[in-house]
Each structure stands twice: as structure tokens, then as C-alpha cells.
């Protein structure tokens, strides 16, 4: 596929492009000295797995110095060492069946399934696992509660200690893992041979750049993203998909999805049984979807303003023009929700009333508590990241995936390696895993602006974020919100998502669902073990904090999709004849196919 075909509007460049005199005035332009700095840092990043050693050193130094200045904390930790050793000795006696042993075993955290198998209750593996859990407890106490250490540095040190402990967990090694030993004996060692084959296959794919195994079984346009539709609009940054109606009439107010540009849009249109798009089309909605361009080096100067203007505003223009509807119900997912909120605030400021409602899926507008991703965002780390993007022109998919894997290293790194390389299990194949392997890049300028203005400076929540040279405020938005948080979200923690209540004066319906950032959103009816809480705050009513809300909001079993659809139906007008579709090409389009 010719990469150039994906820039149909490329000749039209913005006046603020990095050209001539304006380029030298651009804050992202660097002279020769800065070029040398960036080159050095980019080279360093290749040796440090894209992690700033200065950031880690400052966090460690902060912790060590303040720990040295806290003799009472040191005394507590020494006493704790003695108690842990004594407890472990009693556990060994108990495991050996001696009468002096005490039954005082440490329970893993609820989400830690490494020692769930009954084989871990047998000697000596119960003693080994208990020693690890006791060490884990001690290190958590050692890295937290040291007076004087900054909150960010404490989080970084605690995180790094957890990474080292997870790496040394007895569950990772054949000799100390009873489940792995049992499977090896049962299979006569065939699991090890299969694990070696899996490892060699993954290494070969990594070296050659071939797609992951999951993408052999799942194909976009084959068994993913197959809801019928047409690309009806295209610019340099997006393709806009309009889905074909399946009902005789449709709701008058169309639905426009703005997914995050960090992901391929078909997270919302997976296999037919897991497709939110298909679900809405079957309920009689006119559904439109933004499909983002997967940028390359020549797109390095695309900015946040480009994403707002070409991604959201031109999509709204196209939807209203093609349907004749004066308003749209806009839906934003993750970063797409943040961008939609920025666009909506600018529209409210300027008197643009084309939004009937706003739905946000796991999207943040306040970044004071952005979750564990903040571990990778400080001035030192961002400086290194900008140097990487300066050299490449974008942030690569592997560089982003590494950060997300570290946040859940126990599940995504060590457990995966155990299952595939030691136990010889095949990789889990499902549509969500296949989508997750199909990552995207992010252009230098946009990603740097996003991290600096939102993550670091929190300009949007503070009223400092500017659109067209003037500040915007979420409080200007008057249309109703429907906000979805997911209970175990590591990317956009639900309490952070809940902060919309502090910024918006409009009616807010908040829904908290079981699951994580992706699996919690993809929750079709009939999915087992799903539940959610739902409550509405009317405009102008007093604030309720997230803990009070969680304690008082009604609980419901099952998928949350029907509850959202009922809310959406109230804001979607009467049923009308479906509009004609003027196609550029068939869905899923061309942008989503760019690797």
C-alpha cells in the first residue's frame, strides 16, 4: 500500500507549519546545540529501555536520603525484619507439622493469582511463597511512609521495588513453581519444547517485524470491524465512517464516536458479538466513527489543535452536513474523550450548539491523579521521550506498549512468559487481544503538547488551556454528560474520571462498571459476571465525593450498554427515514489498515 495515498489533503498545510521564519519561532524547533542534546538522549534511551535513568536516580536518592534522616523509620523496618523472619520460621514449623508451628499465613492481594493453585499449599512451596509475600510486605513498608519524600518519587521507588520483586517471584521459575513442575512431569518435558518453540517464534517475529500470532487468526475487515458501512469523509488526519442502518427508520440525532488516537477505532467494532457499533445500529441509531491516521515521521508536526480541528470539528461538520441534523450525540473514548471535552468547551465558549449530549468512556479531564501512567511522566522522563520522538518523528507502538506492560508486569510480562515459554501454553486468542496487538503511533508535536499541557500542567482543569488563542473551561459546557468509569482501570482510574463532577456544572450521569480500561467498556449484554453502578447528579446540586457516591449509587447486574442506550434514546429525537450514504469507499476504510 502506498503510504502517500493516506494524505489526500497533504498539499494544504497550516500557516503555523514548521517552515521558513515561522519554523525558527516555533517552540518545537531546535538549533544545533539542542540537536546534539536530543541525539545523545535518544541514544541513551535505546540503552535504558526508554526510561530516564536521571528520573529513577532522583527518586531513589530522595528516598535514600530521607530514609537516612528518619531513624525511627529505620528502627521500625529493623523490627519488622525480625517479626517477618520469626513469622516465617513459625510457618516452616507449621508446614512441617510440628506442634510449635503457628497458622499465620499471609494472603496475596485479591488480584494476585500467582499462588492460587492448591499445589502452592504443599511443602516446601508454601514456605517459599510465604517468604516471597513477607518480603513483598516489608518492601512496601520500606518504600512508603518515609517523611519528606515527594509523592511522585515515593510512587516511583515503590513501583521499581515491585518490578524487581515480580521479576524474582518463585512463580517465574521451573524449580520453585509446583504447577510448572507438575505439568513438566505429566507431559514428559514436552511443555518445555513447546515453550522453546513459542519463544523462538516470538523472537523471529520481533526481528523480522512480522505481525503477532493473534493477527493470523483475526483480520480487520475479515472477522473484526465488519459492521457494514462506508467512508463518507476523509482529510489528512481522519476517515469518517457512516454505518449502514438495519432498521426501517433511525433516530434523528446521529451518534459520533471519537476514539483515542492511541488505538485503532475498531475496539468499538470488534467481532459482531462484541461490537458496540453493531449494538447501536441494531437499536436504530445513525452511527458515525472517526478512524484516525496512523502517523509516520512526516506527520511529526501535527499538533493537538490539528487533532481538535481536523479530528473532531471537521467530523461534526461532516455529520451534520450529511444527515441534515442540527445536533449530534458525541462519544469520546479515553484520549478521544479528553479531546472531545476540549472541543466541546471551545464550542460552548463560542456559542456553537451542535452537541446534544456528551458521553465519555474512561476519559479524564483533570490530571491531578492520572493513575500509574504518571510514573512515566515527569520533566526528566518527558525530556527523554521528546528526544526519542525528535529522532523518529513519532512515538513508536513498542515504546508505548512497554509502559502499559510494566504497569501490569505480573500479568502481562511474567505470567505470560511462564504460560507460553515454560508451560508451553498457546497465546490466548480473542478479538480484544488481537486489537491490543494492533497498536498505533503518535506524532512528536501532538504527544509532547498533550503530555506537557494536560499531564504535567493540568491546563484544561485549571482553565489555562487555549483554543484559537483564548482559554476554555469545562464549566461552560451545558449539555448533559454520561461518564463511564471502570473499576480496575490502570490508565484512567475511575476516581480520576469522576473529577468531571468538580469541573462541569451540567447534568452528569456517572456509571461505574466492573472490568478494566478496555474490557470494562466492551461489555455486551449476556456477558457473564458483569455489574455496574449508576446515578445522576442534576445540574446545580451539591458535590458528592467518589467514596460517598460508590457507597450510595444503586448496583445493577449485567451489561451497562442497555442503560446507556436508554439514556441516549431520550436525547436522540424521533425516528426518521435513514439518510442516503455517499461513499468514498467501504468500511473499515484505508487508514485503519496502515500498520
DSSP state of 346: H
Catalytic residue IDs:
334
> Own/partner pairs for 72-81, CB < 8 Å, 24+ apart?
73/145, 73/146, 73/147, 76/141, 77/138, 77/141, 77/142, 80/138, 80/141, 81/138
- Helix (H) / strand (E) element for 485: namely strand 481-486
Cell match 512431569: residue? 185
Beta strands in 274-385 (DSSP E): 287-292, 328-333, 355-361
- Cα 82 versus chain centre, distance: 41
Look at residues 481, 492, 473 and name the one whose alpha carbon lies nearest to residue 368.
492
Task: Go through the chain and tell me how many residues it has.
Answer: 595
Assess whether the previous peptide bond of 124 is cis (omega < 30° from 0): yes
User: Taking the alpha carbons of 431, 437, 440, 444 in that order, is the dihedral positive or negative?
Assistant: positive
Q: How far is CA 125 from CA 39, 75, 518, 590, in A?
A: 49, 31, 35, 53
Q: How far is CA 196 from CA 5, 202, 419, 428, 437, in A?
A: 41, 10, 12, 17, 22
**375: left (phi > 0), else alpha (psi -120 to 50), else beta?**
alpha
Q: CA-based Rg of the chain, rounded to a whole angstrom?
A: 26
- Pull the grid cell for residue 382: 518527558
- 3-state SS of 72-102 is HHHHHHHHHHHHHHHHHHHHHHHHCCCCCCC
Give the up-direction half-sphere exposure of residue 575: CA atoms within 13 A in the CB hemisphere: 8
508 φ/ψ angles, rounded to the nearest 5 degrees: -130, 120
- Helix (H) / strand (E) element for 258: namely strand 255-258
- Report whether 311 contacts 292 (CB < 8 A): yes
- Helix %, strand %, coil % of the chain (to 5): 50, 10, 40
Amino acid at each position: 500500500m502506498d503510504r502517500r495515498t493516506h494524505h489526500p489533503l497533504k498539499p494544504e498545510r497550516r500557516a503555523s507549519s514548521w517552515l521558513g521564519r515561522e519554523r525558527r519561532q516555533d517552540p518545537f524547533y531546535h538549533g544545533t546545540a539542542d540537536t546534539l542534546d536530543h541525539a545523545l538522549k535518544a541514544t541513551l534511551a535505546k540503552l535504558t529501555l526508554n526510561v530516564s535513568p536521571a528520573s529513577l536516580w532522583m527518586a531513589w536518592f530522595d528516598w535514600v536520603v530521607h530514609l537516612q534522616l528518619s531513624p525511627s523509620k529505620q528502627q521500625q523496618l529493623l523490627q519488622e525484619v525480625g517479626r517477618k523472619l520469626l513469622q516465617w520460621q513459625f510457618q516452616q514449623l507449621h508446614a512441617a507439622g510440628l506442634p510449635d508451628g503457628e497458622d499465620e499465613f499471609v494472603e496475596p492481594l485479591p488480584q494476585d493469582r500467582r499462588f492460587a493453585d492448591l499445589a502452592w499449599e504443599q511443602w516446601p512451596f508454601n514456605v517459599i511463597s510465604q517468604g516471597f509475600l513477607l518480603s513483598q510486605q516489608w518492601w512496601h513498608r520500606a518504600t512508603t511512609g518515609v517523611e519528606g519524600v515527594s509523592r511522585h518519587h515515593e510512587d516511583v521507588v515503590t513501583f521499581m521495588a515491585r518490578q524487581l520483586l515480580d521479576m524474582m517471584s518463585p512463580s517465574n521459575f521451573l524449580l520453585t513453581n509446583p504447577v510448572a513442575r507438575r505439568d513438566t512431569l505429566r507431559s514428559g518435558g514436552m511443555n518445555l519444547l513447546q515453550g522453546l518453540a513459542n519463544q523462538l517464534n516470538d523472537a523471529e517475529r520481533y526481528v523480522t517485524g512480522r505481525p503477532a500470532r493473534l493477527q493470523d487468526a483475526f483480520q480487520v475487515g475479515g472477522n473484526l470491524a465488519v459492521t457494514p458501512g462506508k467512508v463518507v469523509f476523509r482529510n489528512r488526519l481522519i476517515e469518517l465512517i457512516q454505518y449502514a442502518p438495519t432498521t426501517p427508520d433511525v433516530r434523528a440525532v446521529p451518534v459520533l464516536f471519537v476514539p483515542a488516537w492511541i488505538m485503532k477505532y475498531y475496539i468499538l467494532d470488534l467481532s459482531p458479538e462484541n461490537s458496540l457499533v453493531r449494538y447501536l445500529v441494531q437499536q436504530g441509531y445513525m452511527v458515525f466513527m472517526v478512524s484516525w491516521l496512523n502517523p509516520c515521521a512526516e506527520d511529526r508536526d501535527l499538533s493537538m489543535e490539528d487533532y481538535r480541528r481536523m479530528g473532531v470539528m471537521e467530523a461534526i461538520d461532516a455529520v451534520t452536513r450529511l444527515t441534515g441534523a442540527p445536533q449530534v450525540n458525541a462519544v469520546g473514548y479515553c484520549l478521544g474523550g479528553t479531546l472531545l471535552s476540549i472541543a466541546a468547551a471551545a464550542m460552548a465558549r463560542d456559542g456553537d450548539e451542535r452537541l446534544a449530549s456528551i458521553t465519555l468512556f474512561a476519559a479524564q479531564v483533570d490530571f491531578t491523579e492520572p493513575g500509574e501512567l504518571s510514573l512515566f511522566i515527569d520533566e526528566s522522563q518527558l525530556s527523554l521521550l521528546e528526544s526519542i520522538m525528535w529522532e523518529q518523528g513519532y512515538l513508536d507502538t513498542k515504546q508505548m506498549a512497554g509502559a502499559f506492560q510494566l504497569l501490569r508486569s505480573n500479568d502481562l510480562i511474567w505470567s505470560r512468559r511462564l504460560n507460553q515459554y515454560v508451560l508451553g501454553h498457546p497465546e490466548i486468542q480473542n478479538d480484544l487481544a488481537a486489537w491490543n496487538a494492533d497498536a498505533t503511533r503518535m506524532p512528536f508535536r501532538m504527544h509532547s503538547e498533550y503530555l506537557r499541557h494536560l499531564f504535567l500542567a493540568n491546563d484544561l482543569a485549571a482553565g489555562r488551556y487555549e483554543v484559537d488563542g483564548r482559554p476554555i473551561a469545562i464549566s461552560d459546557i451545558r449539555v448533559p454528560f454520561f461518564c463511564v468509569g471502570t473499576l480496575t482501570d490502570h490508565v484512567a482510574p475511575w476516581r480520576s474520571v469522576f473529577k468531571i463532577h468538580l469541573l462541569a456544572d451540567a447534568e452528569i450521569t456517572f456509571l461505574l462498571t466492573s472490568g478494566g480500561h478496555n474490557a470494562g467498556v466492551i461489555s455486551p449484554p449476556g456477558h457473564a459476571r458483569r455489574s455496574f453502578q449508576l446515578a445522576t447528579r442534576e445540574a446545580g446540586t451539591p458535590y458528592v465525593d467518589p467514596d460517598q457516591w460508590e457507597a450510595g449509587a444503586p448496583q445493577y447486574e449485567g451489561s451497562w450498554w442497555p442503560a446507556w442506550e436508554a439514556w441516549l434514546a431520550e436525547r436522540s429525537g424521533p425516528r426518521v427515514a435513514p439518510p442516503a450514504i455517499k461513499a468514498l469507499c467501504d468500511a473499515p476504510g484505508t487508514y485503519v489498515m496502515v500498520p
